[in-house]
Amino acid sequence: MYNDNPTIQDLNAKQIDEKKQGEVFGAEFAPKQAGEKRFYIESYGCQMNFSDSEIVASILGEAGYGPTRDMETADLILINTCSIREKAEETVRKRLRVFDKVKERQPGTMVGVLGCMAERLKSKFLEEEKLVDIVVGPDAYRDLPALVAGAEEGEKGVNVFLSREETYADINPVRLQSNGVTAFISIMRGCDNMCSFCVVPFTRGRERSRNAFSIVAEATDLFDRGFREVTLLGQNVDSYKWENPETGATVSFAELLTMVAAVDPDLRIRFSTSHPKDITDDVLYAMRDHENICKYIHLPVQSGNSRILDLMNRTYTREWYKDKVDRIYEIMPDCAISSDIIAGFCTETEAEHQETLSMIEYSNYSMSYMFFYSERPGTPAARKLEDDVPLEIKKRRLQEIINLQTEISRKHNLADVGKTFKVLIEGDSKKSDQDWKARNSQNKMVIFPKAAGKHRPGDYVTVTIHDATSATLFGKLVEA
Ligand code: 5AD
Ligand code: SF4
């Protein structure tokens, strides 16, 4: 879901797909009415950013700004940014050059930078990027209307205040670029983990969990509007913990999953991201016991070597992670696991890299998001460790990881040939409007020919798989 790395995405069709889905723009191309104001928004980075853009759309809607897909006619151009790797920030700067050109053609257009890069660079942005009008961090989106109003008067504005409470619980997100079937629900914000490579604790602040009832209400509303799948989002969902201020009772992530699963048996639940140290047996049992909680866990390992994991401050060892993987497959033999992997972290040796490769095999990941280490200013690793693995070696190790994962994904998918799955139709396949694109519980994309006039997006159908690549399953409808 991290759309900052096209080279690697080219090698991973699942990521290409998610990148395209993720290009969040507004809905309208229609000519503007007199006095009407429109915003255009692009999002980069994680799913959380895409979800935040939907919150921003709602806040701006209340302030009289409607969405547009056309940046040339927008009054306000926004870019929701990612700082996770240097490449992500370079992409944002390139886009800002494009927006500068629009501003030259259409004087008066305002440009705003949102998200993690806004938080990281703060007012420096206004010095570095002269044509940026507003800079707003992830916890300050309620202030957008005031900042935009100031910018309309020619006053540049910055709000990068990080909150300990803000969860935007009461805001009803505007679903941008929605397929009408699947939606994200943000359940918590921030991160307290302090993995040494990661900038997120600095850009998104302290961890806080959103009111469980507001999450259930959002899921219910989505279901009533025809949505059939929700993904519960957080940097570390397994540490979700909400205390009801009225009763003092707490809701754990396993309990939250059960509450959302009860909305309707036809509403599928996914979640992301899990930290191996926090995922509990209770979560695994909740998944096993509810057919509508998808059998898929994104469980980033980062490295397969215990020394590197320690330097990364991941707080688990290779053995501990393997035990967790064993436990998942023991409780749910049909569960798919995916991962995030970093190649070439500080001081990583060839033998340690080999342990990452063997971990991919051991865990039998259905897919992974794979990166080479990119030092981020201000992180514990940048302060204490030397980024001493040469770029060529990082790239070579990454390529080996990608090659192995592609092969494992292919085998994982080929093992599904002959199996029958219940899948949720999301829309037309990209290649042909004669085929549907759907997903099974394990989060695999399944392509199959339509039966004339019979189904629509949001329907569950049964499909038997007859072929597979490393990224996609191909099936045939089983007639009911
Ligand atoms: N360099 C490379 N990859 C990183 N990630 C996070 N920080 C960095 C970094 N500095 C990866 C991790 C994380 C995912 C979201 O991005 O794998 O799980
Ligand atoms: Fe998302 Fe921020 Fe992390 Fe980027 S740095 S992936 S935007 S949380």
Q: What is the pLDDT of residues 99-118, one digit of tens each?
A: 999 999 999 999 999 999 99
Residue 15 is assigned to a structural domain of this protein: no
**Is 251 part of a structural domain of the chain?**
yes
Supply the CATH number for residue 461's domain.
Answer: 2.40.50.140
pLDDT tens digit string along 278-306?
Answer: 999 999 999 999 999 999 999 999 999 99
Q: Cβ contacts of residue 102 below 8 Å, gap of 6+?
A: 71, 72, 77, 109
Do 406 and 317 share a structural domain?
Answer: yes
In a domain, 10, yes or no: no
User: Exposed/middle/buried for 72, CB within 10 Å: 0-12, 13-18, 19+?
Assistant: exposed
Domain span at 459: 420-477
Residues 329 and 399 grouped into a single domain = yes
Mapped onto helix, strand or coil, the DSSP state of residue 444 is coil
Beta strand 188-189 with 445-449 is unpaired
* Shared-domain flag, residues 406 and 425: no
- From CA 49, how far away is CA 19, in angstroms rounded? 13
Residues 361 and 467 in one domain: no
Domain annotation covers residue 173 = no
Domain-located, residue 174: no
Q: Which of 287, 317, 285 is nearest to 301 (CA)?
A: 317
What's CA 199's distance to the chain center, in Å? 16
**Torsion sign across C-alpha atoms 282, 287, 293, 299:** positive
Q: Residue 373 Cα, ligand 1 centroid: separation in angstroms?
A: 7
Mean pLDDT of all residues belonging to the chain: 92
Dist CA 392 CA 36 (whole Å):
52
- State the ligand closest to the CA atom of 272: 1
Contacts of residue 111, Cβ cutoff 8 Å, sequence gap at least 6:
76, 77, 78, 79, 96, 99, 100, 103, 131, 132, 133, 134
CATH number, position 84: 3.40.50.12160
Report percent pLDDT > 70 for the chain: 93
Domain membership of residue 7 (yes or no) is no
Residue 27 and residue 86 share a domain = yes
pTM exceeding the 0.95 threshold for the entire prediction = no
Output the CA 375–ligand 2 centroid distance in Å.
15
User: Do 340 and 207 have their domain in common?
Assistant: yes
Ligand 2, CB within 6 Å, residue ranges? 45-46, 48-49, 82-84, 115-116, 199-200, 203-204
Q: Is residue 235 in some structural domain?
A: yes
Tell me, yes or no, whether 261 and 400 share the same domain: yes
Q: In what order do the strands lie in the sheet with 182-186?
A: 182-186, 229-233, 268-272
Please identify, by atom number, the ligand 2 atom nearest to the C-alpha of residue 116.
Answer: 2
pLDDT of 419-452, one tens digit each? 999 999 999 999 999 999 999 999 999 999 999 8
Write down which residue in 362, 394, 411 finishes a domain.
Answer: 411
Q: What total of structural domains would you count in the chain?
A: 3
Q: Which helix (H) or strand (E) holds 427?
A: strand 420-428
Residues 366, 437, single domain; the answer is: no
Residues 6+ apart with CB under 8 A from 162: 119, 137, 138, 139, 190, 204, 205, 206
Confidence band of 31 (pLDDT split at 50, 70, 90): low
Are 361 and 438 part of one and the same domain?
no
Transcribe 431-443 into DSSP letters: S-TTEEEEE-TT-
Protein residues with CB under 6 Å of any ligand 1 atom = 84-85, 197-198, 300, 302, 340, 342, 371, 373-374, 376
Domain termination site, one of 109, 124, 159: 159
Contact 348, 305 (CB under 8 A): yes
Tell me: do 301 and 390 sit in the same domain.
yes
Q: What is the CATH number of the domain that holds 216?
A: 3.80.30.20
**If we measure between CA atoms, which residue out of 197, 205, 193 comes closest to residue 238?**
193
| One domain, residues 459 and 397 | no
Residue 43 domain-assigned?
Answer: yes
Asked whether the predicted pLDDT for residue 16 surpasses 60, the reply is no
Q: How far is CA 280 from CA 208, 235, 270, in A?
A: 19, 16, 16
Give the tens place of pLDDT for each residue, 71-104: 999 999 999 999 999 999 999 999 999 999 999 9
Task: Specify the DSSP element, H or E, that contains 319.
Answer: helix 318-331
pLDDT (0 to 100) of residue 33: 72
Domain boundary among 128, 159, 190: 159
Give the chain's radius of gyration (CA, Å): 22
Task: Enumerate residues 6+ apart whose C-beta is below 8 A from 5.
Answer: 85, 87, 371
Residues 121 and 55 in one domain: yes
Please state the atom number of ligand 2 nearest to the C-alpha of residue 115.
Answer: 7
Mean pLDDT of all residues in 414-418: 98
